């Protein structure tokens, strides 16, 4: 006796390949992709992320999330002939890891006919992340260096290609984890920074997160269905134990109560919105590099200064 899978809830004709527990839907591959594309479109519309003629820099790391986002935006933007997509990648300089990811990124851009810019830590800061990891001692972790420097590098690259938006591929799991992480750290300022609509700050290209309602699990499935080549290796420096603990907890809660990640993400948005706007007065510019900062010397220059002392 062979049991056929149930038909797709949406088209009613093709066999389903995925059971979306939080909605009850069973979806065929084609409808599955369609629902995710529509979800990203709705996210863009709800948060007014783009203008009809936006020049959008997409941060493409070479992982599944950013490659999926690049493909979805490429499809969505076909309806907007005045809009432009440019992929930007940051080469932190992590041997055997980022170089592989960059190959996936370049290949995807080439096939889609999307311009691809690569900016490296080495040229921007004088050090690769591998060199930083060897050099730095003390409290600050390699991940903190990478986070701060990559954030700045993405902004620099987006400005260089004259983009007016910077789209990053944070997924639903990232959002829910960040919300919980910042609750457990008591960091409401950072919780505010996760807002998918981003902020307009002088000197910064506005960051938007059109992928923020796509669960990690569906992102992986999407990449497999499309046959995308993407990096699966974890970063050799990956640590951040606290986020791993929170990821595990949220996955457990989601398995027991499908929809939990959506609830956490949406509740965090309501909290953020009630907290009011991020202090948009960045204050001034860094005395050393001229980039916007809240203090006298920006975090990037502080961290690089620590390295120079060694």
- Interface residues with a copy of itself (CB under 8 A)? 179-180, 183-186, 188, 241-242, 245, 249, 252-253, 256-257, 260, 263-264, 266-268, 270-271, 274-276
Q: Closest distance between a copy of itself and the C-beta of residue 178, in Å?
A: 13
- 157 or 264, CB closer to a copy of itself? 264
Q: Closest distance between a copy of itself and the C-beta of residue 203, in Å?
A: 28
- 60 or 179, CB closer to a copy of itself? 179
Q: Which of 285, 188, 225, 210 is nearest to 33 (CA)?
A: 225
- 194 or 264, CB closer to a copy of itself? 264
**Do 116 and 105 meet the contact criterion of CB atoms below 8 Å apart?**
yes
Return d(Cα 168, Cα 205) in angstroms, integer.
12
**Do 269 and 195 meet the contact criterion of CB atoms below 8 Å apart?**
yes
Q: Closest distance between a copy of itself and the C-beta of residue 246, in Å?
A: 8
Q: Closest distance between a copy of itself and the C-beta of residue 260, in Å?
A: 6
- 128 or 182, CB closer to a copy of itself? 182
Q: Closest distance between a copy of itself and the C-beta of residue 210, in Å?
A: 22
- 224 or 249, CB closer to a copy of itself? 249
- 11 or 184, CB closer to a copy of itself? 184
Alpha-carbon distances of 220 from 68, 80, 229, 274, rounded to whole Å: 9, 27, 11, 33
Q: Closest distance between a copy of itself and the C-beta of residue 231, in Å?
A: 30
Q: Closest distance between a copy of itself and the C-beta of residue 48, in Å?
A: 24
- 148 or 271, CB closer to a copy of itself? 271
């Amino acid at each position: 006796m062979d049991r056929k899978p149930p038909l797709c809830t949406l088209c009613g004709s093709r066999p389903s390949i995925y059971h979306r527990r939080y909605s009850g839907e069973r979806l065929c591959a084609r409808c599955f992709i369609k629902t995710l594309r529509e979800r990203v479109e709705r996210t863009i519309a709800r948060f007014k992320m783009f203008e009809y003629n936006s020049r959008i820099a997409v941060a493409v790391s070479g992982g599944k999330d950013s490659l999926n986002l690049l493909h979805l935006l490429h499809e969505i933007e076909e309806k907007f002939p005045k809009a432009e997509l440019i992929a930007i990648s940051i080469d932190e300089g992590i041997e055997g890891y980022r170089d592989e990811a960059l190959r996936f990124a370049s290949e995807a851009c080439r096939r889609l006919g999307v311009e691809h810019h690569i900016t490296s830590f080495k040229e921007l800061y004088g050090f690769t992340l591998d060199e930083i990891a060897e050099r730095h001692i003390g409290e600050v972790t390699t991940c903190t260096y990478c986070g701060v420097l990559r954030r700045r590098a993405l902004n620099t690259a987006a400005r260089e290609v004259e983009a007016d938006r910077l789209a990053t591929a944070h997924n639903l799991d990232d959002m829910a984890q960040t919300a919980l992480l910042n609750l457990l750290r008591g960091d409401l300022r950072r919780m505010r920074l996760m807002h998918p609509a981003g902020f307009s700050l002088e000197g910064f290209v506005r960051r938007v997160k059109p992928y923020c309602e796509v669960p990690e699990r569906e992102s992986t499935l999407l990449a497999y269905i499309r046959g995308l080549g993407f990096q699966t290796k974890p970063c050799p420096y990956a640590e951040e134990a606290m986020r791993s603990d929170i990821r595990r907890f949220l996955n457990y809660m989601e398995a027991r109560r499908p929809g939990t990640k959506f609830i956490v993400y949406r509740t965090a948005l309501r909290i953020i919105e009630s907290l009011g706007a991020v202090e948009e007065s960045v204050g001034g510019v860094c005395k050393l590099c001229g980039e916007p900062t809240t203090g006298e010397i920006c975090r990037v220059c502080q961290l690089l200064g620590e390295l120079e002392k060694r």
